[in-house]
Every structure is written in C-alpha cells, then in structure tokens.
Amino acid sequence: MITTLSGDTSRLRAAVDFVKEQDTTTLLPLLLPGLDGPELRALVERCRFSHAALLVFPSDETELTELLAGCGLVADAPPWPSVVVRERLAARHRRPVAELDVGILRPAVTGADGAKRVVEVFALAVPPGSGLEEVAAYERERQHEAHVAFDVSVPDPLVLRGLCAAFGRYGAVPDGGGYNPHENGTVFYFATSAEAKAGYGRVELYAPGDYRDILAAHLDAHRARQPSEALLRLLTGAWTTQALAAFARLGVADALDTERGTGVEEIAAAVGARPRNLATLLRYLAMVGAVAETHDGFRLTEIGGLLRTGAAGSMRALALMYGGPFYQSFAGLGHTVRTGEVAFEHHFGENHFDHFARDPELAALFDQSMAAGAAMFDPVPAHPAFTAAADGATVVDIAGGNGELLGRVLTAHPRLNGILLERPHAVEAARHRMAQAGHADRCAFRAGDFADVPEGGDIYVLSRVLHDWDDDRCREILRHCARAMPDHADLLVVERVLPTDGSPSLATAWDLHMMCNVGGRERQAAHYARLFADAGLELAGRSPLPLEGHVLHVRKAAAVR
C-alpha cells in the first residue's frame, strides 16, 4: 500500500497522460460499452470530455504546489472549497465536515487533439499529527474519488435528463453527486459497469448552474440501491423540520448575509446562542442547502433566505407552524389511522380553527403561514375570468385569510373591486393588509361563515378551502356559493389535485397532513367535479399553478341557469 506523497505524484502523472491522450468520441464507448452509432453521436454533441480527477494528500499548500510542479502542472488560482468530495469523505469516514479541508484545483492540460482540458485535483490537507493519515491511506488504496468527467454543452433540464437516462442504458448507475454553490455547478456521479475499459470506475457529468431538482431524482436512485441508508435518511426527516424551525425561530436567517460568510461567534452573539451548538446546527443546515459554509463562516442560500422575517415570499411562518403545533400533532398520526379521530384534536382537545382563534399570536402565525405559499398564487390574477371581467366587477374571496390572494388580484386589475369574507379576527388583519396595499377604498369586508357568502358577485374565489373539509361539508359550502352566484358568475377553486397515476406529488403529502391535522383531504379532479355537480355547478376548466397547485374553473350547471 502506498502511503507517501510519491504515490500521489505517480497517480497525478498518470492522470495527466490520460487527459492528453483521450477525446470524447473514443472515451465514451470505453466507459459505456455498447454505445455507438447515432446515440454516440448524440452524446458527443451534448457533452465533452473535460478532465480526469483524483484526490491527493499534501501536508500544506506549499507541498501541493511542489506536487503539481513535479507533474508539469501550474495552478492559476488558489484552491477553492470542495463541497461534494468533502461531504463524501465525511460520510465515508464518519468525520465532521469541518475537519476535512478539501480544496479543488484545475491546472490546464492540452490534449493530443489540441483541446483544452484540465486535471481536477482534490487536495485534502493532512498536516502532521492531524489524525487524518488513516483517511489518506484508505483513500489512496481505494481511489473512491478518481473519475473522468464530461461537461454538458447545453445544460437545460431536458438534455440533463436525457444524458442521465443514456448513461443508465449502458450500465452506468447513479453514484451520488451534489451542488457546489462556490462555483454554481451541479455534479452527477455514475459508477460504470464491470465491462468498462477506461481504467476509471466513476464518471461525472458536470452542468454549470443550479439543477438540484434533477439532482434530487439522481440521488434518490443512488440511495435506492442502499436501502439502509435510504431508510435512515427518511427516518431523520423530522430532524430537518426541527432544524429549519429552530433556524427560523432563533432569527439566524436574519443575522446572515447572502453574499459573504459570517463567523459563528458573530452569529451566536447576534441571536443569543451558544457558538458550538449553533455551529452544529449550521453544519446540518449546510448539508440540506439552507446555508453554505465559506472560508469566512456561513452565508445564506436562496432556500435559507425564505426563512427571513419579512422577506419577499418568506416562508418563516410556515416553518414555525410545521415545527410547532402541527409537528406536535403529527405524533398522533397512528391514532388517526387507527381510529379516524383527527390527531390535532386528539392532542389539543379542539379543532385547529378554534385552537388558533383563541390565541391571537397563533392565529396571526397561522394566517401568515397560509400566505407563505403565495408563490402558488403568482399566475392566478392572469386567469381569463379576471382579465375578461367588466370594469367595476366584484371579486368575492371566501375565507380569504389575510387578503394575500385578493390583494394580488386587485393590484393586477385596478378596475375590479373586492369583498373578503372571513372570521372576525382574520378580517381585521386583512383590512390592515389591504389598506397598506392601497386597496381600502376598493375592498369591503364581511365577518361571517360560509352561510354568509355575499350575493351578486361576478367572480368567486375559494382558495385552499375545500381541502379542509369532508365531502358533506364541501357540498354545503359549494351550495352556499351556488346560491349566491348570479348565472354569469365564475367560481375559481384553488387546490392541489391528487394525480391519477400514483406519481410523486405535493398533493399526496398534503393529503396526509390534512387527514392528520385538519380532518380534510386532497382530491382528484374527477372527485371535485362530482362535488361541484352535487351543488348544481360544473367544472369548466383546469389550469396548473406553481407548487403543484391548480385553478379549477367552475360555472353554474347549464340546467340550473
């Protein structure tokens, strides 16, 4: 077993020679046996051989520079932090990420075909006495991080999915990956089949940009091959909920910057926390993408930014609800499945509407959490029912919360007026919000229940209301709407709709939440259509929204008009 730096030198020289000798067209069939003809040409058009990579173990930066020079390489920039390799090493050796100082260098190499490529050098600093010598010896022997890489020429989602599928057809299987915020790039790793003849057992596809949505499916496929790890990750999902809720509750997101890193001691002083404990929380949140670790400390990512107080599209209230009352009641999910009793009512002794209404702070938090999914509402004001409405038409928002959606509609359509129907405490919050938005003179407010739906409106809105109730109560609500609606009126129902093919969906997750905490349910489109028909209404159309929502366009049934 090679345990000295000379072993790194010989491996690095071999990598340099490999990069000089290979090209995309000859290398792909060696890695993916059987690949030829049109499919080979298609892959060559969409990705190119960019580098070979290996992990070396200098004691410091000076020794790293000497190692590169001995192989004819010159680094044109200092190493920048690795995210993917460092996390892989931490998981493999059960070491804290902070102990593993892994940098990336990419010295240039010119191929025999004249193409400009690089050798990607991951460098784990192993200072004498650091206790990392065993890690270095293990990694030198097994070469887990050695791989060849291809850059995706046109990194759009369709191309990425097609490349991943093509690799799979020729024996390559998902082997991890990650997103590196330091360079805004997404990495997809594959393990090649035993028949591959390139001398490398791993392949990387590198796409500049943030493609974590596609990466998630890739990583799921990787974990599916390791059931015990997959199960552990599922079982620790509750830890993520509480970590994000604590992050929001402590105001850590408000104390972080999105551009520069902030030291743990400074953050801890700002939020009143113990530095060591806060560092543990932040390292976990870096793993799930809410923060990023830098040389200077931690900075806020785009995901973490949604937990800031008062930020545009803030989901802080949602984190506090899911990490608070709903988290407590979810412990009774088994009771709900066994008995049919709503777990929230079993835990708190009353339904969630009554429980929140008795606590002004909790009621405000709940209304804010409902508005936190506002991204779902973005396209709603552009619905034809609003754009085609006559000047002075009235939009009636039934159980409209704090007025988030109605406010958006009135902002987009200054010629329309609004009426918001809600419980008394929520009406006051909505009145304040509408005044701030400048809509006080165009919006009326009604305190009441579904039996009090105002008559004579032109467009009625039921946004995320029906999923709170069982079928009988939904029919009753819809009959109140039908009674109040003139023949020409439209009813827009905003809900998540369950898929009919069993495909993964947020609606499926919310179906469980509604059953456990509210006593309601999500439904398929055909189920909603039956409920509408029972109330003398008919489903006239359906259009998708963000966050897997839908607008169901409902009119009075022809026989009823």
Q: Which of 458, 440, 462, 465 is nearest to 386 (CA)?
A: 458
Say what the pLDDT of residue 498 is. Answer: 93
The partner residues of 124 in beta bridges, in order of sequence, read 102
Q: Please give the average per-residue pLDDT across 337-357, as a whole number.
A: 93
The domains of the chain are located at 5-231, 236-311, 325-358, 374-556
Task: Give the pTM.
Answer: 0.62
Cβ neighbourhood burial of 134 (10 Å; 0-12, 13-18, 19+): exposed
Confidence of residue 455 (pLDDT cuts 50, 70, 90): very high
> According to CATH, what is the number of the domain 236-311?
1.10.10.10
Q: Please give the average per-residue pLDDT across 179-184, as a whole number.
A: 85
Q: Which of 180, 181, 176, 258 is nearest to 216 (CA)?
A: 176
Return phi, psi of residue 20, to 5°: -70, -35
Confidence of residue 220 (pLDDT cuts 50, 70, 90): confident
- Within a 10 A sphere around the Cβ of 347, how many other Cβ atoms? 17
Say what the pLDDT of residue 560 is. Answer: 65
Q: Which residues, at least 6 apart from 543, have a Cβ–Cβ distance to it below 8 Å? A: 379, 383, 550, 551, 553
Confidence of residue 82 (pLDDT cuts 50, 70, 90): confident
Q: pLDDT digits over 232-251, tens only?
A: 778 888 999 999 999 999 99
Q: Which of 395, 365, 372, 398 is nearest to 383 (CA)?
A: 395
Whether 415 has a pLDDT exceeding 60, the answer reads: yes
Q: In which residue are the tokens 């830890």 written?
A: 239
Class of domain 374-556: alpha beta
More confident residue, 491 or 156: 491
Average pLDDT of every residue of the chain: 91
Q: Which of 404, 399, 397 is nearest to 378 (CA)?
A: 404
Q: Which of 252, 83, 284 is nearest to 181 (CA)?
A: 83
What percentage of the chain reaches a pLDDT higher than 90? Answer: 65
Say what the pLDDT of residue 373 is. Answer: 66
Q: Please give the average per-residue pLDDT across 30-39, as a whole number.
A: 91
Q: Which of 172, 132, 155, 160 is nearest to 28 (CA)?
A: 172
Choose the catalytic residue: 222, 352, 439, 467.
467
Cβ neighbourhood burial of 441 (10 Å; 0-12, 13-18, 19+): exposed
What is the C-alpha to C-alpha distance for residues 481 and 398, in angstroms, rounded to an integer?
9
Q: Which structure tokens are listed for 397?
A: 């928002």
What is the C-alpha to C-alpha distance for residues 203 and 147, in angstroms, rounded to an integer?
5
What is the C-alpha to C-alpha distance for residues 521 and 531, in angstroms, rounded to an integer?
13
What percentage of the chain reaches a pLDDT higher than 70? Answer: 97
Class of domain 5-231: alpha beta
Whether 368 has a pLDDT exceeding 90, the answer reads: no
Whether 2 has a pLDDT exceeding 50, the answer reads: no
Q: Which structure tokens are listed for 119?
A: 């050798």
Say what the pLDDT of residue 1 is. Answer: 30
What is the C-alpha to C-alpha distance for residues 121 and 207, in angstroms, rounded to an integer?
18
467 given a catalytic annotation? yes
Say what the pLDDT of residue 219 is. Answer: 87
Q: Which structure tokens are listed for 338?
A: 């066994």
The secondary structure element, H or E, covering residue 190 is strand 185-191
The secondary structure element, H or E, covering residue 314 is none
- Within a 10 A sphere around the Cβ of 261, how many other Cβ atoms? 17
Q: Please give the average per-residue pLDDT across 85-100, as a whole number.
A: 87
Which amino acid belongs to residue 80? W
Say what the pLDDT of residue 559 is. Answer: 67
More confident residue, 343 or 358: 343
The secondary structure element, H or E, covering residue 140 is helix 133-142
Least confident interval from 1-5, 290-294, 329-333, 365-369: 1-5
Dihedral (C-alpha) 209, 210, 213, 217: value to the nearest 10 degrees? 60
Q: pLDDT digits over 46-75, tens only?
A: 999 999 999 999 999 899 999 999 999 998
